[in-house]
Amino acid sequence: MIKAIRGTRDILPPSSGVWNSVEASAREVFRSFNYQEIRTPLFEETVLFARGVGEETDIVSKEMYTWEDRDGTSITLRPENTASVIRSYIEHRMDQWVGLKKLYYMGPMFRRERPQKGRYRQFFQIGAECIGSEAPAVDAEVIELVVEVLERCGVEGAKLLVNSVGCPKCRPGFIETLKQSLQAVKGNMCGDCQRRADTNALRVLDCKVPEDQPVIDALPSILEHLCGECAAHFETVKDLLTARDIEFEVKPRLVRGLDYYTKTTFEFVHGALGAQSAVCGGGRYDGLAESLGSRVPAPGIGFSIGEDRLVMTIEEARAGQTAAGPDLFVAPMGDAAVRHAAVLARELRRGGLVVEVSSDKKLKRALETANKTAARWTLILGDDELAAGEYSLKRMETGEQKRVKREEIASAVRAD
Ligand SMILES: [Zn+2]
Ligand SMILES: [Zn+2]
Write down the domain spans for the chain: 15-170+226-317, 328-414
Centre of ligand 1 to C-alpha 226, Å, is: 5
Centre of ligand 1 to C-alpha 169, Å, is: 5
What is the CA 328 to chain-centroid distance, rounded?
33
Centre of ligand 2 to C-alpha 79, Å, is: 25
What is the CA 354 to chain-centroid distance, rounded?
28
- Backbone CA torsion sign across 80, 85, 91, 95: negative
Reading the chain (416 residues) residue by residue, the pLDDT tens digits are: 999 999 999 999 989 999 999 999 999 999 999 999 999 999 999 999 998 888 777 888 889 999 999 999 999 999 999 999 999 999 999 999 999 999 999 999 999 988 777 789 999 999 999 999 999 999 999 999 999 999 999 998 899 999 999 999 999 999 999 999 999 999 999 998 999 898 888 889 988 899 999 999 999 999 999 999 999 999 999 999 999 999 999 999 998 767 788 999 999 998 855 566 889 999 999 999 999 999 999 999 999 999 999 999 899 888 877 778 899 999 999 899 999 999 999 999 999 999 999 998 898 999 999 999 999 999 999 888 888 889 999 999 999 999 999 999 999 999 87
Centre of ligand 2 to C-alpha 253, Å, is: 13
Question: Which listed ligand is nearest to 234 at the C-alpha?
Answer: 1
Question: Which listed ligand is nearest to 168 at the C-alpha?
Answer: 1
Centre of ligand 1 to C-alpha 235, Å, is: 13
Enter the DSSP assignment of 98.
S
Q: How far apart are CA 196 and CA 176, in angstroms?
A: 13
Percent of the chain with pLDDT over 90: 78
Q: How far apart are CA 189 and CA 214, in angstroms?
A: 10
Centre of ligand 2 to C-alpha 181, Å, is: 15
What kind of fold does domain 15-170+226-317 have according to CATH? BirA Bifunctional Protein; domain 2 (3.30.930)
Centre of ligand 2 to C-alpha 200, Å, is: 12
- Taking only the tens place, the pLDDT of each residue in 112-127 is 988 777 789 999 999 9
Q: How far apart are CA 159 and CA 157, in angstroms?
A: 6
Dihedral, CA of residue 287, residue 292, residue 294 and residue 295, to nearest 10: 80
Which residues are CB-neighbours of 373 under 8 A, at least 6 positions away? 325, 326, 329, 356
Centre of ligand 1 to C-alpha 165, Å, is: 8
Centre of ligand 2 to C-alpha 218, Å, is: 13
Angle between helices 171-185 and 191-199 (to 10 degrees): 140
Rounded to two decimals, the pTM is 0.91
**Radius of gyration of the CA atoms of the chain, in A:** 27
Q: Which CATH number is correct for 328-414, 3.30.750.24, 3.30.360.10, 3.40.50.800, 3.40.1010.20?
A: 3.40.50.800
Phi (first) and psi of residue 305, to 5 degrees: -105, 130
Centre of ligand 2 to C-alpha 207, Å, is: 5
